[in-house]
Each structure stands twice: as structure tokens, then as C-alpha cells.
Amino acid sequence: MRTLRNITLRITVVLLWIATAWVPATAQDRPLTEEQQRKYDYYYLEALRLKAQRQYDAAFDLLQHCLEINPKAPSALYELAQYYLFLKDDDKALQELEKTVTYEPDNYWYAQALASLYQKENETEKATALLEDMAARFTDKPDPLYNLLDLYNRAEDYDKMLGILDQLEQRMGKNEALTMEKFRIYLQKKDNKRAFHEIESLVKEYPMDTRYRVILGDAYLQNGKEKEAYNIYTEVLKQEPDNPMALYSLADYYKKTGQEERYQQQLDTLLLNRKVASDTKLLVMRQLIIDNEQADGDSTRIIRLFDRILQEEPDNAQLPMLYIQYLLAKGMEEQAQPVLHQVLDIDPTNTAARMTLLGEAIKKEDYKEVTRLCEGGVVANPDKPEFYFYLAIAYNQDERNDDVISTCRKALQQARKGTKKEVISDFFTIMGDAYYAKKMSEKAYESYDSALVYYPENIPALNNYAYYLSLERRDLDRAEEMSYKTIKAEPKNATYLDTYAWILFEKGRYDEARIYIDDALLSNEEKSAGVVEHAGDIYFMTGDTEKAVELWKKAREMGIRTEEIEKKINEKKYVPYKDNEDGEKAMQHDGK
């Protein structure tokens, strides 16, 4: 059985590199004098102290000195073995451990370390012999028996395995893991009579535990004794009508005997039973989904079952999540929405459900829904920066600039030690945009500066900061430097190319500006009206008035409605915005 094998493997793996307590040396051929023993103890304890301080070379030398005093001291030999293991010199470690066990055979931990190393080195015969000796010598320790069980299993020595299991049963009493392992072995030996006798004896040992009776029924069912299995399931269900194991096993019986209609009915009985735990239903539904997929079955049956279960148990928070995963896997995003809302109604702290709904709302650009979900998210999960981030963006779409700033501040207050610097930088960037929209440019620039302190490569911050500086015609050298970083990072981004072109324009470098604005116009990205108007301004300054007017008209068609653009078109000349004193006009001109 899996359980027993896992226990066996866990016990077999032993950490050999451990800090050991002092074990006094014992004389082998001749007793040490009192002076020799005193010296040995001093050097040995000093070696352990140095080892604890990681002064390994000095500790190793002292251990060697210990062996000069007493060549057969198991404590020093054992410590040396650990050093050799650490140095990956398994051969020398093995030699030292073999000496250790020879000189002190009654020390369990020395023997266990050697047995583990034998197994690691695939010295199966030596490991088996040592473990058999340990099983006889250390009768209070079950580990050697489990290790032997694993070795005998690899060798397929079933008789010896049964002998070990009998010993474990005598020490620990009859239990499910041991019984099922004996059952498995007897089946391997094709001794079905004894195999079933093992589980039958478990039922007799625990007559009030219906679980063992169902296990016996399952064993019968898996081995062609359908009638006996059916009788057990029905008897258990007479006694406990809501027994989930028996309900599911009876469904399995109907399936194996080809009674499809009864199989479906029995599953309904199990899944629609309020007294059956959600965990059980979850396992059953997972298995049904797997079976349905393997058989290329219709998903309608699965969906109908989920709907009926949720109708019967509207407060169940576990099954809806599995249902959602199934619907999303089938590409049924719309059908998943009401289930996700149901989950959030039951458990507002369910981040997975909220994030899934949020993803759909963002995809649809439904910022009212984004706002609703994120407002609930920052209350239910105040430590999740994602909700603050998207809430700030949603507020920005509604031009709720004060709320944007307030949300970013709360997010920064909630930021923990482990919060990524890029995330903190993003919140300062969003806050900077909101301050600029409120015509508070100094506060905006302070926010951008903070953003760039946390993450100097924050491209949106670099772009917006540079662009707004260019609108105010200030710090143009710095603006150019920041903007250049953005087009190096994203050379085909129309917005970033436009910013860089405009900075060059403000610096009077019109021919250079035209190169970059042309790249912006040729970009596959959707161009804003602001980019097109800038292109017109730049073309005019490079002497192509006809093309400039064409571009200004196109910008007007795209939504630019200002006195300046009308003058440009009518007078066929460049008209600057008046010192960009009107923040709203500047933002419209920006188009970002």
C-alpha cells in the first residue's frame, strides 16, 4: 500500500551529517589509564567545540589526535565518518563507520548510520545483514523492520516481508496500513484466501468501524467478488444511510457491473446529500471530470451536476471553485461569472475568485466593475497591492484624482518589506499622473522622482515626467535624457517616440524631431490625436506646410477641439499653446 511504502521510505532516509552528543570512548583491548582517558575526553570535547564554530580543519586534527590516544574509540571514528561524508568521500566514511559499529555494536544510532550508508551505496546484502542484526538486537525500535521491509520488497521476497509485517503487528497491533500491505502481498503470491482473510480479520478486530467493512467490500469488488461487495455496501448503508464511503463504493459497484442508470442515480444520491462532507464531494467531482474527459464525454452532465449541488448547498464555498475551474477550462467564461459572484458573496476574502472576476472586467474595460471589485478587495484583502493598483487606474478613468492619490497613499502605507520596488514605483507614477491632472505639477514631479528612486527604469514614469516637463518647457536636457531611455527600451512605441520628438521640437531640433515623429506615425500602434497634431507642428517647422495642414485637420477629426488648432488650419501656421497654463488643454493635447 502507498501509506506503508511512504513510511518505509521516510524511515530509510537518515541524515548522517548531525551534531552528535558526546559519547565517552570505551576501551577495547586494554583499559585506558586515568590520564589517557582525561586527555581523550578533553581533546574530543574540544573537537566538538571547534566543529560547532565551523573550524573544521582544527577539529579534524584533534579527532586524529584522539585516535592516537585510543585507536578504537567509536565516538571519534563516528565523527571522522561525518567529515568524510561532508567531503563526499563515501569510501572512507564507510570504513570509519564499520569500525565504529564493530567497536560499539550496541549503539543503535551508529548502526543506523552505517545501514543507511550501505543502502545509499547499494550494498544491499550488507545492509540487509546489518538490519536483521539490528532488528534482533534493538527490539524496541521499529525502524530496522521498516527498512528491512523496503529491502525485501525490492527483492520481491514476499515470505520475508510477511514475517516482518507479523513482527510489526505483534508490536503495534493490527492496523489498516499493515493489513492492506499483507493483503497486497498475498495477492501477489496468488493466495486470495489468505488475502481476504487479512481484511476480514481487520473487520473482526474493529467490528464497530464501518470503514473497514467498506474496505473489505472494495477488496471484494476489485477481485471479482461483486455479490459479496454489494452485500457489504448495502448492510453498511442500512446501518449508516449517509456513509460517504459506502455511497461511493456502491456507485462504483454499479459502474463495474454495467448498471449505468443506477450508477448515475447513486452519484446523485451522494452528491446531493447535505450530510456528505464537501471534501468527499470535491473528490468525487474531480474523479467524474477526469473520467468524463478520458471518455470524451459531454460536459452537460458535469455542469448539470454542479448546478444541482450548488442549488442544494448555496453556502458551499469549495465546490464552486472547482466548478469555475471546469467552466474556464471549457472556455465558458460567461457561465463562470455568476458562480464567481456566488463565491464572493459567501467568502469576500476569496482572492482567487475576485482576481478572476477582475481579469474579466479589465479585459472588457468595464471600469465600474473594476472599481466595485477592487473597493471590496482592499477591504477584504488589504495586503494585496493588485487591488489598490487597479482601483487607482479605475478611479483615474473616472477622473477621480483625489481618490487616485488617496488609494496610492494607502497602498504605499500597506507596502511591506518584501514588496517589489517596481510595484512601489508604479504607485508613485500613478500618483504623479493624478497630481498633474490636478494642475499640481510640483507634487507630480516629486512623485515621479520617488518612482525613479525606487525603480530608475520605470518607463511610463520616465515618459510622463519627460513629456510634462516639455509642455512646461523646463529642464529640457533632463527631459530628453529620460525620454531617450524610453525609446531605447521600446523603439516602436508611438507614444514614447512622440514624446521624444516633441522634446526635440521644443529644443528647436526640427529635422531630428521629424525623424522620430515619422517613426511614430509609421508605428502599428493606434495613434492618439495628440501625436498627429504634433506631427503637423513638426512638419510645419521643417517647411512642409501642406502636409502640416493635412495632419492638423486629421487631428481635429480625431477629437482635438482647441482655438489653437483652428488657427493652425485657418492661418496655415504653427500656433503654440499659451504656456500650457490650461491643464485640461495640455492633457487633451497629450492624448496619453
Q: Which residues in 28-94 belong to E strands, given as ranges?
A: none
- Write down the domain spans for the chain: 459-590
Task: Look at residues 35, 12, 32, 118 and name the one whose alpha carbon lies nearest to residue 75.
Answer: 32
Single pTM value for the model: 0.62
How many C-beta neighbours within 10 Å does residue 577 have?
A: 15
CB 273 within 8 A of CB 242: yes
Burial environment of residue 242 by CB neighbours within 10 A (0 to 12, 13 to 18, 19 or more) = middle
Q: Which three cell numbers stand for residue 31?
A: 583499559
DSSP 3-state of 139: coil
- Please tell me the distance from the alpha carbon of residue 565 to that of residue 557, in angstroms, as a whole number: 11
Task: Look at residues 213, 204, 202, 199 and name the one whose alpha carbon lies nearest to residue 243.
Answer: 213
* pLDDT, tens only, 523-535: 877 778 999 999 9
- Please tell me the distance from the alpha carbon of residue 226 to that of residue 394, in angstroms, as a whole number: 62
Non-local (6+) Cβ contacts of 582 within 8 A are none
How many C-beta neighbours within 10 Å does residue 379 have?
A: 11
- CA 442 to chain centroid, in Å, comes to 42
Place of cell 531605447: 488
In the prediction, which pLDDT does 29 show? 52
In the prediction, which pLDDT does 1 show? 39
The shares of helix, strand and coil residues in the chain, as percent rounded to the nearest 5, are 75, 0, 25
In the prediction, which pLDDT does 174 show? 83
Q: Which three cell numbers stand for residue 243?
A: 456513509
Alpha-carbon separation of residue 446 from 24, 133, 416, 579, 580 (angstroms) = 70, 77, 22, 21, 20
Task: Look at residues 127, 142, 133, 124 and name the one whose alpha carbon lies nearest to residue 7.
Answer: 142
- Please tell me the distance from the alpha carbon of residue 105 to that of residue 28, in angstroms, as a whole number: 12
CB 572 within 8 A of CB 578: no
- CA 158 to chain centroid, in Å, comes to 41
CB 392 within 8 A of CB 427: yes
- Please tell me the distance from the alpha carbon of residue 210 to that of residue 143, in angstroms, as a whole number: 31
- Please tell me the distance from the alpha carbon of residue 509 to that of residue 284, in angstroms, as a whole number: 71
* pLDDT, tens only, 47-62: 999 999 999 999 999 9
In the prediction, which pLDDT does 579 show? 57
Task: Look at residues 474, 484, 416 and name the one whose alpha carbon lies nearest to residue 442.
Answer: 474
Per-residue pLDDT of the chain (592 residues; tens, 9 = 90+): 334 334 333 333 333 333 333 344 443 456 889 999 999 999 999 999 999 999 999 999 999 999 999 999 999 999 999 999 999 999 999 999 999 999 999 999 999 999 999 999 999 999 999 999 999 999 889 999 999 999 998 988 999 999 999 999 888 888 888 888 888 898 888 888 888 888 888 888 888 889 889 999 998 998 889 999 999 999 999 999 999 999 999 999 999 999 989 998 998 889 888 888 888 889 889 988 888 888 777 788 889 889 888 888 888 778 888 888 899 888 888 888 899 998 888 889 999 899 999 998 999 899 999 999 999 999 999 989 999 999 999 999 999 999 999 999 999 998 877 789 999 999 999 999 999 999 999 999 999 999 999 999 999 999 999 999 999 999 999 999 999 999 999 999 999 999 999 999 999 999 999 999 999 999 877 778 999 999 999 999 999 999 999 999 999 999 999 999 999 999 999 988 875 443 444 443 443 4
Q: In CATH, what is the architecture of 459-590?
A: Alpha Horseshoe (1.25)
Q: Which amino acid is at 246?
A: A
- Please tell me the distance from the alpha carbon of residue 234 to that of residue 217, in angstroms, as a whole number: 10
How many C-beta neighbours within 10 Å does residue 288 have?
A: 17
Place of cell 526640427: 510
CB 149 within 8 A of CB 164: yes
- The conformation of residue 568, written as its DSSP 8-state character, comes to H
- The conformation of residue 301, written as its DSSP 8-state character, comes to H
CB 446 within 8 A of CB 428: no
